[in-house]
Each structure stands twice: as C-alpha cells, then as structure tokens.
C-alpha cells in the first residue's frame, strides 16, 4: 500500500478510534450518572470529564457534548460502538440521603416516588391523590394502613396506569392515606416485584423482568 494512502486511512480512522463511549445510567434534575469508557461517573450540569460534558439533564433525558458533538440521550441510550443493546431495561437510582427515588408517571402525570420495599402496595396522601385527579372518596374502598406512628384510615383504589422507564403497568392497586402523609408517593412491592432489585451501596438497579 502506498505510504500516502496508508496515512490517509490512518487520519480517517483516528476520530473513530478516539471517540468517547458514553451510556446514560441514571437521570436526575441537573445531574446524570454516565458510563464513560467503562468508568461510572456522576456529572452535574456543566461538568466535564475528558471530552464528555453534561450540558443539562432532567428525569427524562440528558444533553451531553461528546467530542464536540451535542447528543440528547434518554435512560439507557449510548454514544459509541462499545455498548451492545440490552435485552432488559435497567433503571439505575442513586441514593439521595437515606432513600432512593424513581421518577415516573401515574395516570400520565409526572410523579417522584420513594422506593419502599417495606410497603405492600403503592401509597400516597390525599393531597397527592387530588393533584393526580384520583376520585378516591367516590371510587375507593375503606381500608386501614399501619405506619410507624400507628394505624391510619385510608382508601383502597386502582391506578389506571403507572409507568417506570419503558414499563407501563395498568390497574395498579394503591392506598390513599388520609392526611398529608406520606410526603412522597411510596413505590411498594406490588410494583417492585416486577423488577429484579439489585442494591449496591449508593446505587439501586431495577431490572425489568419482562
């Protein structure tokens, strides 16, 4: 092969060989957990690692600059050729304080849910139910729930839909607790059992069983 042709091919291949390999592992407001060339990194808005910069992020997607090119990536999306498609979706949750939170949709409306492996079902307060338009007094059935502070009256209802990542569940059993507690919607075991839960210290991975 002539030397000039060899050098030309080398120049053409160099940008490909140098391209950063990036996958979105978890998303948060103004923060994202990324796999960058095999290294797990948590980047805040405007932070850079090598040729990868997190421009902005929310619970749905992240805008990243990779080798000078801006990409919009959702959870599990990747840039580069190192990553093979996954058969099962993974939701990766980063510990916040003493808890893990998952962003999803209830009846098509955005909700932040606290992962609670001690809760039998999804649970929410009356204020949260009203915001989501759930007719718990009209359609719900009387129930009693046990909390750390004792027993509380509640209403047993069915949610039309609950979505986590690409997983949508219909007719999900939930309880609406009278009063302003719990502060967050509790993501209980009737939904969590549909995932393989992998707890690794500061990280919780929910793997879809479907």
Residue 58's domain comprises 3-85
37 lies in the same domain as 110: no
Tell me if 92 is assigned to some domain.
no
SS3 sequence of 89-127:
CEEEEECECCECEEEEEECCEEEEEEECCCCCCEEEEHH
Contact yes or no for 89/22 (Cβ under 8 A):
no
Judge whether 159 lies within some domain.
yes
Rounded to 5 degrees, what are φ and ψ at 73? -125, 140
Query: In terms of pLDDT, which residue wins out, 145 or 197?
Result: 197
Q: Are residues 107 and 64 in the same domain?
A: no
Name which of 75, 100, 103 is nearest 90 in CA terms: 75
Q: pLDDT tens for residues 133-184?
A: 999 887 778 887 776 666 888 899 999 999 998 889 999 999 999 988 899 9
And the tokens for 91? Answer: 């939701």
Q: For residues 92 and 128, give the distance between their C-alpha atoms in angstroms, rounded to a whole number.
A: 25
Give the least confident one: 9-13, 153-157, 175-179, 206-210.
9-13
169 neighbors 59 (Cβ within 8 angstroms): no
Query: How many domains would you assign to the chain?
Result: 2
Q: Is there a contact between 94 and 41 (Cβ–Cβ < 8 Å)?
A: no
Identify whether residues 74 and 125 lie together within a single domain: no
End-of-domain residue from the set 85, 109, 127: 85
Q: What is the pTM of this model?
A: 0.59
Find, among 171, 113, 120, the residue nearest to 143 by Cα: 120
pLDDT in tens, 92-125: 999 999 999 999 999 999 999 999 999 999 999 9
Q: Do 141 and 179 sit in the same domain of this protein?
A: yes
Q: What are the tokens at 81?
A: 């050729």
In a domain, 95, yes or no: no
**Same-domain status, 79 and 152:** no
| Residue 169 belongs to domain with CATH number | 2.40.70.10
Co-location of 49 and 116 in the same domain: no
């Amino acid at each position: 092969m002539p030397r000039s042709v060899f050098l030309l091919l080398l120049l053409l291949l160099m940008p490909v060989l140098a391209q950063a390999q990036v996958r979105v592992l978890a998303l948060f407001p103004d923060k994202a957990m990324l796999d960058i060339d095999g290294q797990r990194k948590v980047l805040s808005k405007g932070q850079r690692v090598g040729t990868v910069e997190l421009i902005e992020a929310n619970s749905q997607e992240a805008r990243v600059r990779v080798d000078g090119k801006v990409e919009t990536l959702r959870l599990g999306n990747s840039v580069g050729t190192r990553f093979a498609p996954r058969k099962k979706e993974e939701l990766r949750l980063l510990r916040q304080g003493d808890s893990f939170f998952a962003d999803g949709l209830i009846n098509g409306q955005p909700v932040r849910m606290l992962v609670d492996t001690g809760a039998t079902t999804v649970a929410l307060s009356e204020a949260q139910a009203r915001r989501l338009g759930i007719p718990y007094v009209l359609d719900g059935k009387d129930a009693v729930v046990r909390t750390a502070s004792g027993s509380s009256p509640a209403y047993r209802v069915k949610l039309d839909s609950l979505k986590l990542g690409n997983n949508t569940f219909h007719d999900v059993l939930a309880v609406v607790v009278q009063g302003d507690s719990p502060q967050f919607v509790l993501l209980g075991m009737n939904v969590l059992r549909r995932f393989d839960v992998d707890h690794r210290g500061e990280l919780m991975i929910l793997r879809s069983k479907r």
